[in-house]
Structure 1
């Protein structure tokens, strides 16, 4: 194995080296004799194994042992600035060309143990149940295809309408009147035939159908808002399937997204029970009468739908590849479109009487 320094900025100051990797993150290393900056220059070439590093350093005037180099490489890998050189070569040439930008994104999270190619293989092996082919769902479909996910089972019951063309870019005028899932499947086959897309023209109604549709899935993305309790249905089905799910939507002018990992994070039922407890401690809420209920109006323009699909797909990608921990597991994320794009994060806790989480509490 040949360790290689990631393409990060390295700043040298008297007796010190600064590694500038992730935004707003810097690593400071003592470098009294210049050996650290020299080692970094050697590692940037990515052409030597750890056993070959002492000779390369000796050529530059520094006497070090292989144990020294092993310790230094381990420390640099620990702070996330090393890659395994040549790891992409394990992928075929067509895959490397097609997924170049994806691989370079994975570099942010890769190290000597797990490579960018490994993250891509995890995505290529993934099987996603995608509920909904509307604004958010079609955007998620497009993003998952771009990432090279292996298989998608796409479920929707609607047909393409002219109004959909404002924000659902998997469809064109020739698709008006067709079942969305069929039109989306055909678009996907033209765009990225490496992903298998199965079209299911079906209305989701209960947990049993969700379990059936999700058989073999690695993850569920919920991009539908009916029936009214759909999130609770998907939540329960995902406990049966043993897979995480991600969802999101638009409420008036506020984007939201969150996820659940059964047995790990608080679940959607926990949120429901927590809200019920809050209602008991605040009885004034139950006595309030709704004079005018909010109408169901779809304000999701193209950019809004793409933004939401991006956040949801990024969270889905964290589960599918485990690049880094999910950021929305049991955490309600919001972006207020009509208030300066103000963002909030609101975590919720496991409820002690949640019947679903209780099954996994001792696991």
Structure 2
């Protein structure tokens, strides 16, 4: 291991050093004899082991190791031995991705390690319209190595309010075919498989997840009505995380399921208007059930516009990224992020799903 300083700046403030990597944070370190600044200078140069650093500094190896570990705990160093292994063309293509991952790199996990994880990853994308028409370009931009795209529809004029994968000349074409062509044209290094079919039951979906063996499922389909429960069941059975986003009139949500860790979709009432699914519901819950029942009594219309699906799709793609790299824990696992499009796009986590030990899908896992 050869610890290397990240893009850190520092200045002397009396007998202390002010360190800044991210402007949101700063560190003030006591350095009356200048030894800390000498260590930072050597780490900035890189290429030395802890033992070699101690030799140059004429310091105890244990003290230098403790100092490096303290810097690592604050996300200020990574292992230089884990850098420089990417092909120059790949490093150039992913210049910005690598710069982003630098912020989350450690001595145990470099920015290039995170890039390699994405290259080796496979995402099953259920639906290439609506939400996922934003998710797919983000996954392609990140350089996810393999995408399996599923859709059953053709391109029609209504799609153009929000689905920018397609062009007017694509009217009448199969969506999944055009989406795959877009990805291949964007980055030929990405492997793309297509499945032009509908989801018609839980068994078929479970077979699909088991056969394709993705690392994550990005779910963006809402028909038939029970499809979320089918995806949930298939993914929990096979231990595959899945990410879902959607919206209702002026409220959007993004949530995910981390099998065996978070609550799953089956842990909460499946039918939003079934009052018997709630134990001793209070007045607020009863009123919410009544409002949903009235709303669902009328035909539903797709109100998705570009900014709406763009926001939701970006949040969903970020959650997929968390699962693929684990650069940070999933943010919305059993904890839906709710966006209020009638209130300045305010985003919060108002509720958290509780794991049900007796859940027929995830109980006991």
Structures share fold, TM-score greater than 0.5: yes
User: Which of residues 212, 215, 219 in structure 1 aligns to 2:216?
Assistant: 219
1:281 and 2:280 matched: yes
1:353 and 2:358 matched: yes
Aligned partners of 2:15, 2:299: CA distance in 1, in Å? 65
User: Which of residues 109, 132, 138 in structure 2 aligns to 1:137?
Assistant: 132
User: Which of residues 167, 170, 176 in structure 1 aligns to 2:165?
Assistant: 170
Aligned partners of 1:302, 1:274: CA distance in 2, in Å? 29
The 1:50/1:182 distance shift into structure 2, 3 A limit, reads same
In the TM superposition, what is the alpha-carbon distance from 1:239 to its structure 2 partner?
1.5
Q: 1:95 matched to which residue of 2? A: 90
Write the mapping of 1:141-160 to structure 2, written as runs, cut at 5 A.
141-160=136-155
CA contact (8 A) 2:77 2:107 kept: yes
The 1:154/1:72 distance shift into structure 2, 3 A limit, reads same
Moved more, 152-161 or 70-79: 70-79
Q: 1:35 matched to which residue of 2? A: 35
Q: How many residues align?
A: 355
User: Which of residues 316, 322, 326 in structure 1 aligns to 2:320?
Assistant: 316
Aligned partners of 1:270, 1:233: CA distance in 2, in Å? 13
In the TM superposition, what is the alpha-carbon distance from 1:92 to its structure 2 partner?
0.9
Residues 122-155 of structure 1: CA deviation (Å, up to 9, x unaligned): 1111111110111211211111111111211111
Write the mapping of 1:173-192 to structure 2, written as runs, cut at 5 A.
173-192=168-187
CA contact (8 A) 1:273 1:351 kept: no
Secondary structure, aligned partner of 1:247: strand
Secondary structure, aligned partner of 1:139: helix
In the TM superposition, what is the alpha-carbon distance from 1:166 to its structure 2 partner?
2.8
1:104 and 2:99 matched: yes
Secondary structure, aligned partner of 2:269: helix
CA contact (8 A) 2:269 2:278 kept: no
Aligned partners of 2:97, 2:200: CA distance in 1, in Å? 36
Moved more, 177-186 or 76-85: 76-85
In the TM superposition, what is the alpha-carbon distance from 1:291 to its structure 2 partner?
4.8
The 1:291/1:78 distance shift into structure 2, 3 A limit, reads closer
CA contact (8 A) 1:103 1:120 kept: yes
In the TM superposition, what is the alpha-carbon distance from 1:304 to its structure 2 partner?
2.2
CA contact (8 A) 1:129 1:213 kept: no
Moved more, 134-143 or 293-302: 293-302
CA contact (8 A) 1:273 1:354 kept: no
Aligned partners of 1:51, 1:316: CA distance in 2, in Å? 39
Aligned partners of 1:54, 1:181: CA distance in 2, in Å? 58
In the TM superposition, what is the alpha-carbon distance from 1:121 to its structure 2 partner?
1.1
Aligned partners of 1:21, 1:150: CA distance in 2, in Å? 30
In the TM superposition, what is the alpha-carbon distance from 1:14 to its structure 2 partner?
2.9
RMSD after superposition: 2.3
1:81 and 2:81 matched: no
User: Which of residues 246, 254, 267 in structure 2 aligns to 1:249?
Assistant: 246
**Structure 1 unaligned blocks of 5 or more:** 58-62
User: Which of residues 316, 320, 342 in structure 2 aligns to 1:338?
Assistant: 342
**Structure 2 unaligned blocks of 5 or more:** none
Q: 2:234 matched to which residue of 1? A: 237
The 1:351/1:121 distance shift into structure 2, 3 A limit, reads same
Structure 1 stretches of 4+ with a deviation exceeding 6 A read 273-278
Q: When the two structures are superposed, what TM-score results if normalisation uses the length of structure 1?
A: 0.90
User: Which of residues 292, 295, 300 in structure 2 aligns to 1:296?
Assistant: 300
The 1:47/1:291 distance shift into structure 2, 3 A limit, reads closer
In the TM superposition, what is the alpha-carbon distance from 1:330 to its structure 2 partner?
0.8
Aligned partners of 1:291, 1:329: CA distance in 2, in Å? 29
